[in-house]
Amino acid sequence: MGHGNQFVDQPNMDPKLVSKGFKFGVALAVIGLGAAFAGLATESKEQFFYSWLVAGMTFTTISLGCLFIVLIHHITGAMWSTAVRRLAENIAAALPYMALLMLPVLFIGMHDLYHWTHGDAVAKDAILQSKSGYLNTVFFSVRTVLYFALWIVIARFYRKYSVKQDATGDVAYTFKMRWWAPLSILAYALSVSYAGFDWIMSLDPHWFSTMFGVIIFAGGMVSGFATLGLYGLWLTKNGTLKNTINEWHFHDCAKLMWGFVIFWTYTSFSQYFLIWYGNIAEETAWYYVRMHHGWERIGILVILGHFALPFWVLLSRHMKRSRYAFALVAAWMIFMHYVDLYYMAMPNLHHGFHPSWMDLACFVGIGGVFLAAVMRVSGKDAIVAHRDPQLHASLNYDNF
Amino acid sequence: MAKSKIWGAVAQFENPAELVHGVEAIRGAGYTNIEAYSPFPIHGMEKVLGLSGSKVPWITLFGGLCGFSLGTWLQWWTGAVDYPVVIGGKPLFAIESSVPIMFELTVLLSAFGTLAGMMILNGLPRPHHPLDGYAPFRRVTDDKFFISIESDDPKFDALAAQAALEQAGGTNVALVEA
């Protein structure tokens, strides 16, 4: 039943809780980034840039996943997600910090990361020459800045008007955000896909796959829903929004995360499948490297950990509705998203599987910055869109 | 002609709130084999009626596993046993090239299992229902609500059941023949 549920929670996070989360994030950032920079003394520059790129990409795509959740909410006029939409907006608001971390490394590290920036290599290589109209340092830099600028503008736009509605409850803001959603999604889809091509796929500039950007997007969606769910679970566990986010909202986060696990598998397998069937050396080379010298084990870990395990564990409705099971699988999916990106990028640096503690340092450090950024923005405004006209429907959400 | 068997007792209610209260009152009186009828879904009704979770997901899972096995077997038997032809230098049977068939048949038989399971568990198709002979029931697809207590309820007694329905706020109380 429950046609009468009203919004009774505090719309703002307890400042103590914000400060606790923020300090934890800052501590992780200091330890992680400190270790990463100190590590430059012993580890190679290339290792530093690669580790940084993979970790940065992990958290950037999580923010992007949540940005997409916001856009989907508006384009479909969704009601159920109103109770958790501000959380997704807050996660997407970490994008400027991700840009601060990623841009310097992409620019300073460009020469160490991307083979196609080496003029002498390009001069000897007909394929790289023919690609140089797209893969050149100037155009790459412009695109990189454009991607981040675009995402930050979209993320800020949607958070800004959502927060403005907190003050007035004016439905015009809902219509304004809805009006811009289709165009934003179009721009989002192209930019995310090309960012995947540019930042990760072009590490091996001879190889190409049109599906590549979609796989990056799909991984970000899985982790986006995972992060959104964990954020909500953490808040309700600490008494924030405990009458606002109900078991149906968590159930839907789990369902959608699970759905995107299958979507990720579908796209990842499609890419592999076509290359396997075509069996052309220029395409199979990418997988050949990733099926030898220890990388095959990481590949199997990705298949089992990013597909088989979450598929079977969360298949049943009871498990999706169990907060423990969902939280565990969600945390695991974020880790697997990292491993997936690692598996795409790292074989270009190491011929054989070669873990480095720099990987851990960058993951912890950038994850810490991400957490601190989300916490900081969570404390700034209400933690729920408490005057959204659709919140009432979301509070009464029940979907047998 | 033998006297026909009593199927159950039924009563009419005027709105969803009355229906929910009626079900609560009748369950409170100890009846278990009851059913509520409404022109539209009522949120929370399944809890008031004390319905347990659906068994359809298990049938879906069974259908999916059958489809997966059938797809795998089909690919292997047709490609590597019954009519082995090497195409494009590929193995006669390979997981890679079989995945689309395994996947599609999993989805197909899951869907069949879901549909068939739902139909069988609901006793559908059902061209005739005992309540069809109860005139007020025609408005169940329009603006009236009904509760029935079936005669195989362990507590069922024709008079007591009718009295319970009346006490729960029902009108047009009647006994219905099977």
B17 CB within 8 Å of a chain A CB? no
Query: Measured between beta carbons, which residues in chain A are less than 8 angstroms from residue B90?
Result: 277
Query: Measured between beta carbons, which residues in chain A are less than 8 angstroms from residue B20?
Result: 1
ipTM score for this prediction: 0.80
Asked if residues A256 and A78 have their Cβ atoms less than 8 Å apart, the reply is no
A324 CB within 8 Å of a chain B CB? no
> Is 70 exceeded by the pLDDT of residue B107?
yes
Q: What is the mean pLDDT of residues B121-130?
A: 89
SS3 of chain B: helix, strand, coil, percent, to 5: 50, 15, 35
Please report which confidence band the pLDDT of residue A400 belongs to, taking 50, 70 and 90 as the band edges: low
Q: What is the pLDDT of residues B19-74, one digit of tens each?
A: 998 898 888 888 888 889 999 988 888 888 888 878 999 999 999 999 999 999 99
Domain ranges of chain A: 61-117+137-389
Minimum distance, in Å, between the CA of residue B96 and any CA atom of chain A: 6
The confidence score (pLDDT) of residue A395 equals 86
Number of Cα atoms under 13 Å in the Cβ half of residue B89: 5
- The CA distance from A167 to A181, in Å, is 22
Of A316, A317, A398, the CB nearest to B44: A398
Q: Of all residues in chain B, what percent carry a pLDDT higher than 70?
A: 98
Minimum distance, in Å, between the CA of residue A273 and any CA atom of chain B: 6
The confidence score (pLDDT) of residue A2 equals 46
Neighbours of A27 (CB within 10 A): 14
> Is 50 exceeded by the pLDDT of residue A1?
no
Q: What is the mean pLDDT of residues B91-109?
A: 95
Please report which confidence band the pLDDT of residue B161 belongs to, taking 50, 70 and 90 as the band edges: confident
Any idea which of A1-15, A127-141, A278-292, A357-371 has the lowest mean pLDDT? Answer: A1-15
Neighbours of A67 (CB within 10 A): 28
> Is 80 exceeded by the pLDDT of residue B3?
no
The confidence score (pLDDT) of residue A4 equals 61
Q: What is the mean pLDDT of residues A163-191?
A: 95
Of B61, B90, B99, the CB nearest to A269: B99
Q: What is the mean pLDDT of residues A67-78?
A: 96
> Is 50 exceeded by the pLDDT of residue B156?
yes
CA distances from A101 to A43, A361, B22 (A): 20, 14, 63
Query: Measured between beta carbons, which residues in chain A are less than 8 angstroms from residue B46?
Result: 400
Q: Which of B96, B102, B104, B106 to mutate to test the interface with A (most CBs of A within 10 A)?
A: B96
Nearest residue in A to B45, CA atom: A1
Residue recorded with tokens 């009774």: A8
Of A1, A273, A279, the CB nearest to B43: A1
Higher-pLDDT residue of A294, B52: A294
Any idea which of A41-45, A186-190, A208-212, B111-115 has the lowest mean pLDDT? Answer: A41-45
Please report which confidence band the pLDDT of residue B153 belongs to, taking 50, 70 and 90 as the band edges: confident
Q: What is the mean pLDDT of residues A340-367?
A: 95
Q: Which of B43, B52, B60, B62 to mutate to test the interface with A (most CBs of A within 10 A)?
A: B43
> Is 80 exceeded by the pLDDT of residue B96?
yes
Interface of A with B in 258-287 (CB under 8 A): 269, 272-273, 276-277, 279
B98 CB within 8 Å of a chain A CB? no
For residue B176, what are its two tokens? 């219905």
Q: In this complex, how many residue pairs, one in chain A and one in chain B, have their CB atoms less than 8 Å apart?
A: 30
Q: Of all residues in chain A, what percent carry a pLDDT higher than 90?
A: 88
The confidence score (pLDDT) of residue B45 equals 86
Output the CA torsion A234→A236→A240→A246 (10° steps).
Answer: 140
CB neighbour burial string for A38-48, b if at least 16 within 10 angstroms, e if fewer: ebeeebeeebb
Query: Measured between beta carbons, which residues in chain B are less than 8 angstroms from residue A272?
Result: 96
> Is 80 exceeded by the pLDDT of residue B2?
no
What does pLDDT average to over chain B?
89
